[in-house]
Amino acid sequence: MIFLQKEDNFNDWYIEIVEKANLSDKRYPVKGMNVWTPYGWKIMRGIDTYIRQELDATGHDEVCFPLLIPETEFKKEKDHIKGFDSEVYWVTHAGLNELDVRLVIRPTSETAMYPMFSLWIRSHQDLPLKVYQIVNTFRYETKQTRAFIRVREIHFFESHTCHATVEDAQCQIDEDVEILAKIAKRLCLPYSLLVRTEWDKFPGAYYTVGIDTVMPNGKTLQIGSIHHYRTNFSEPYNITFEDDDGEHKFVHQTTYGMSERLLGAVIGVHSDDAGLIMPPDIAPFQVVIIPILSKTNSDLVMEASNMLFKTLTDAGLRVKLDDRDARPGSKYYDWEIKGVPLRLELGGRDIENGVVTFARRDNSEKGTIDITTVSDGVRLLLDVISQSMYDKAKQIQQSHIQEIDSLNNIPEDKVLKFGWCGCEECGHKFEDNYDMKILGTPYISENYKGKCIICGKSTDKPVYAAHTM
């Protein structure tokens, strides 16, 4: 099998890796609605597990809302419906009867949840309300679809919170940022937090923070977003609470969303021309054991391999023992495509020497681990692999960010950083002339002094712009 080169043709390389690693099957007869294959689904479930862990630990409750939303509820917030009008699917019939009120298949769940929130919340004692769900959402993508990155049925995480004050809602956003840091660390993914422009914020939001990661082709991929709604939704949906002073007030709301794009980013950022490279925390198998058998020692080696498998599994590691009747070389090849972080080889000589031979997937380093402390040795190596995967990804991200102070000779395939006065006219002028998207200003402020690259006005705010995936 010959693989395409990541460096030469990132887009085709990505499609090929997804196919060869068997992460998703796009042959399902609805375009953009792919089938999750067992291996891909295992990885996604691993990511979901960490999301659940972090959300549960911060006092969120998991819920599951209906897929269908009445048109009447969907249209209550006017900006929201404007933003989604062209990309929702409609249910218009029930059997042979046309429905009186059409139903939207959720593109996101604000309009499903908020009519219920208005029933659930009565007094300040019901606040904060913090819920989340992990469900599929549907958006009619008109651009070319691509597994995990641009699909029409999306595996989606969304949290929704209601608070008594605007300050409490702001604290929630800070908590969301901390949760993100923990999840991204598991995925070894660097990212930036950028406050989206007014014309690019979520429909109905007061402000939106985009979570972007840089792909190796220099384009950015938005892997999630956090929104502050203030009372933009609670007013049309009448979500109020009775305050201490007996007064009825509208709640302040936030949401936080991420999707299977997290997996798309993991594939794109970490993998290479030989296949996937899975971060140890989300790898369905962290370790694969390959017995190296000879004519005379196969019983001995198999017995030792089974023991090794049991030791590592008992230590809580996710392990695969590949005892297929095939040559070691072809086994190496298969597990390389699947991206298993650590390969352990066990042969007659290893057993004699009291060691097991390892090979790292992320950098092809080889060595041995003492068999008597093998679980600790493996754990240590997996930590080293995680750290070095993150460092490498961070270095790639930084190499793609370039600060510019003039519009002459704009570099290709870079994320640009430059001064912006903040006015819409300058922003649009840049986006239209250079066919790039302004991603936004840093959520965590950066020390900056410069001039707006369009109008020349002094500014202390940098902005980032890029071609997007």
Summarize as ranges the residues that interact with Zn ion (CB under 5 A).
421, 426, 452, 454-455
Which is closer to Zn ion, CB of 317 or CB of 454?
454
CA distance to 32, 150, 296, 300, per residue, from 142 (Å)? 10, 10, 61, 58
CA distance to 189, 192, 315, 323, 465, per residue, from 396 (Å)? 11, 13, 34, 37, 17
Q: How far is the CB of 457 from Zn ion (least distance, A)?
A: 5
Which is closer to Zn ion, CB of 193 or CB of 421?
421
Q: How far is the CB of 468 from Zn ion (least distance, A)?
A: 22
Q: How far apart are CA 83 and CA 92, in angstroms?
A: 21
Which is closer to Zn ion, CB of 154 or CB of 452?
452
Q: How far is the CB of 195 from Zn ion (least distance, A)?
A: 17
Peptide bond preceding 279 in cis form (omega within 30 of 0): no
Assess contact for 450 and 419: CB atoms under 8 A: yes
Q: How far is the CB of 430 from Zn ion (least distance, A)?
A: 9
Assess contact for 106 and 69: CB atoms under 8 A: yes
Q: How far is the CB of 454 from Zn ion (least distance, A)?
A: 5
Which is closer to Zn ion, CB of 314 or CB of 460?
460
Which is closer to Zn ion, CB of 93 or CB of 449?
449
Assess contact for 226 and 179: CB atoms under 8 A: no
Query: 295 φ, ψ to 5°?
Result: -60, -35
Which is closer to Zn ion, CB of 115 or CB of 422?
422
Per-residue tokens: 367:
């060595």
Q: How far is the CB of 407 from Zn ion (least distance, A)?
A: 12
Which is closer to Zn ion, CB of 299 or CB of 432?
432
Q: How far is the CB of 267 from Zn ion (least distance, A)?
A: 38
Q: How far is the CB of 420 from Zn ion (least distance, A)?
A: 6
Per-residue tokens: 323:
């005892």
Q: How far apart are CA 71 and CA 81, in angstroms?
A: 10
Buried-state track 350-376, b at ≥16 Cβ within 10 A, e below 16: bbeeebbbbbbbbeeeeeebebeebbe
Q: How far apart are CA 449 and CA 142, in angstroms?
A: 40
CA distance to 57, 151, 199, 282, per residue, from 316 (Å)? 22, 34, 48, 14
Q: How far is the CB of 421 from Zn ion (least distance, A)?
A: 3
Which is closer to Zn ion, CB of 52 or CB of 428?
428
Which residues pair with residue 360 across a beta bridge?
342
Which is closer to Zn ion, CB of 214 or CB of 463?
463
